[in-house]
A and B are shown apart, each in its own frame.
Chain A
Amino acid sequence: MNSTLVSTGTEEKIWGGGNQPLKSSYGKLMMWFFIVSDALTFSGFLAAYGFSRFKFIDYWPIADEVFTHVPFLHGQELPMIYVAFMTFILIMSSVTMVLAVDAGHEMKKNKVIWYMFFTIIGGAIFVGSQAWEWATFIQGDYGAVQTKGGNILQFGTYKTIDGEEVFKRISVEDFATASHTERVQHENKNGLWFVDESALPAFSVSDVLHGLESHPEVLVRTQTINEEGEKTVLSRAASLEQVKNNGRRYVKGANLEVNEYGTPLFADFFFFITGFHGFHVLSGVVINIIIFFNVIIGTYERRKNYEMVEKVGLYWHFVDLVWVFVFTFFYLV
Chain B
Amino acid sequence: MKMMENIAIMVIFFLLIALGFIFYSKLGGHSAQQNIEKYAQQNAVKLAQVVASLPEVRCSEENVPVSDCYDLLRLNIASSETFPDNYGYYFEILGYSRIAVKPIYPEPDDPNYEILVYNNEPTNRQFSYIPIFIPITLYNATTNLFSFGVLEAGLYD
Q: Are A and B co-members of a single complex? A: no
